[in-house]
């Protein structure tokens, strides 16, 4: 699977915007929507990426491996779900920290092209050698 | 109101991390203890050492810059005689990853002829930097003269 880096960057920018709105408004629903978006991204159907494809018809100059960003969407999902738990149980610090963590990763990707989620992979494997993900080459 | 401050603080932190990253990413640096550590050999690397130097690259499947790094190092190993490029799948060598304290991929180790770690870089190193380290660390290599036209990172990413 190959991915259009422009679509990934676009998706990260929208994610940044959505998560910032979640923090400002405290909207649980909006965070739930973003969690679903992360889940779809993990499943290989990134909604923001599809929106980009619908808006921009031109072919990308280069493509990149789709697996790292997919993995990162999974990491985003964990943060979003943790944030949801925080908001729903009224543990506000948990909600804020988890959502801010996802915002940080999305912002770094959108603004600098760094995939923080991707880089947690080796650290997770170092701590939990059993956490190997099935990778289809 | 707290949420607004959290957003601002997060974005400020992000800018800080991003700028530091842009400056440090792929920089060749000397790490305390690397030179004193036991030299890596063919048994550990599961590949022969280069005659004069070895570029050891740690990669994972979930690593975007690993492929570009592979191209840079493969190119250097072709360009500089006696330099080998060894790529290690970090996931299948977690023992080595822990022992060498590798936290990110790609991480590139530059070994001298004896297998001692001379320098390391986390993140995609630039070709000119790799050549400079080799010229510095490996006796008998001509001083590097990098040509900008040789930058391979601009090439389209192909499978």
Q: Where are the domains of chain B?
A: 22-146
**According to the model, what pLDDT value does residue B138 have?**
72
Whether residue A127 lies within 8 A of chain B, CB to CB, comes out as: no
SS3 B67: helix
pLDDT band at B155 (very low <50, low <70, confident <90, very high): very low
- Judged by CB atoms closer than 8 Å, whether chains meet at A112 and B94 is answered as no
**Could you report the per-residue pLDDT of B33-55, keeping only the tens digit for each?**
888 888 999 989 999 999 999 99
Placement of tokens 């738990």 in the chain: A85
Band of the pLDDT at B152, cuts 50, 70, 90? very low
In terms of Cα–Cα distance, which of A103, A31, A117, A80 is closest to B13? A103
Q: Can you tell me the distance from the alpha carbon of B157 to that of B43, in angstroms, rounded to the nearest whole number?
A: 32
State the DSSP code for B116.
-
User: How far does the CA of residue B150 sit from the closest CA of chain A (Å)?
Assistant: 19
pLDDT level of residue A135 (50, 70, 90 thresholds): low
Q: Is pLDDT at A136 greater than 70 in this prediction?
A: no
Burial class (CB in 10 A: 0-12, 13-18, 19+), B149: exposed
DSSP H stretches of helix in B80-142: 94-99, 127-137
Q: Is the pLDDT of residue B146 over 70?
A: no
pLDDT, position A52: 95
Please state the rounded mean pLDDT for residues B117-125. Answer: 94
From chain B, pick out residues whose CB is under 8 angstroms from the CB of A137.
61
Span B84-106, pLDDT tens digits: 999 999 989 999 999 999 999 99
Q: Which residue has the higher pLDDT, B10 or B150?
A: B10
Distance from CA of A39 to the nearest CA of B (A): 17
CATH of domain B22-146: 3.40.30.10
| Residues in chain B closer than 8 A to A126 (CB atoms) | 94, 97-98, 103
Residues in chain B closer than 8 A to A22 (CB atoms) = 3
Please report residues of A whose CB lies closer than 8 A to that of B16: none
- Distance of residue B122 Cα from the nearest chain A Cα, in angstroms: 11
Q: How far is the C-alpha of B151 from the C-alpha of B48, rounded, in Å?
A: 27
A60-105 pLDDT tens trace = 888 888 888 899 999 999 999 999 999 999 999 999 999 999 999 9
pLDDT at A60: 87
Q: What tens digit of pLDDT does each residue of A6-50 get?
A: 999 999 999 999 999 999 999 999 999 999 999 999 999 999 999
Closest CB to B17: pick one of A22, A63, A108.
Answer: A108
Give residue B145's pLDDT band: very low, low, confident or very high (50, 70, 90): low
- Does A42 contact chain B (CB < 8 Å)? no
Give the C-alpha separation, A99 to A19, whole Å. 7
- B76 touches B134 (CB < 8 A): yes
Q: For chains A and B, what is the number of CB pairs under 8 angstroms?
A: 96
- Residues B56-85 have a mean pLDDT of 92
Flag whether residue A23 sits within 8 Å of chain B, measured between CB atoms.
Answer: yes
The predicted structure's pLDDT at residue A117: 84
């Amino acid at each position: 699977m190959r991915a259009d880096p422009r679509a990934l960057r676009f998706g990260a920018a929208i994610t940044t915007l959505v998560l910032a709105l979640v923090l400002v408004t405290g909207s649980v629903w909006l965070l739930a929507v973003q969690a679903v978006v992360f889940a779809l991204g993990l499943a290989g159907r990134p909604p923001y990426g599809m929106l980009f494809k619908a808006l921009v018809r031109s072919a990308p100059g280069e493509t990149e491996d789709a697996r790292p960003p997919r993995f990162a969407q999974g990491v985003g999902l964990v943060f979003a779900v943790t944030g949801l738990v925080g908001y729903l149980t009224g543990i506000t610090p948990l909600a804020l920290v988890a959502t801010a963590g996802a915002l940080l990763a999305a912002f770094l990707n959108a603004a600098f092209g760094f995939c923080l989620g991707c880089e947690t992979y080796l650290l997770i494997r170092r701590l939990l050698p059993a956490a190997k993900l099935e990778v289809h080459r | 109101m707290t949420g607004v401050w959290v957003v601002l603080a997060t974005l400020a932190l992000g800018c800080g991390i991003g700028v530091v990253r842009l400056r440090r990413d792929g920089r060749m640096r000397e790490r305390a203890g690397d030179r004193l550590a036991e030299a890596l050999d063919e048994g550990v690397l599961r590949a022969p050492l280069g005659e004069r130097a070895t570029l050891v690259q740690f990669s994972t499947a979930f690593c975007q810059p690993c492929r570009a790094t592979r191209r840079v190092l493969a190119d250097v190993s072709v360009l500089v005689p006696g330099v080998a490029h060894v790529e290690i799948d970090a996931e299948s060598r977690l023992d080595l990853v822990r022992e060498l304290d590798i936290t990110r991929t790609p991480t590139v180790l530059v070994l001298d002829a004896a297998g001692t770690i001379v320098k390391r870089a986390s993140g995609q190193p630039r070709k000119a930097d790799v050549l400079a380290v080799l010229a510095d660390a490996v006796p008998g290599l001509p001083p590097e003269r990098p040509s900008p036209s040789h930058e391979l990172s601009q090439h389209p990413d192909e499978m």
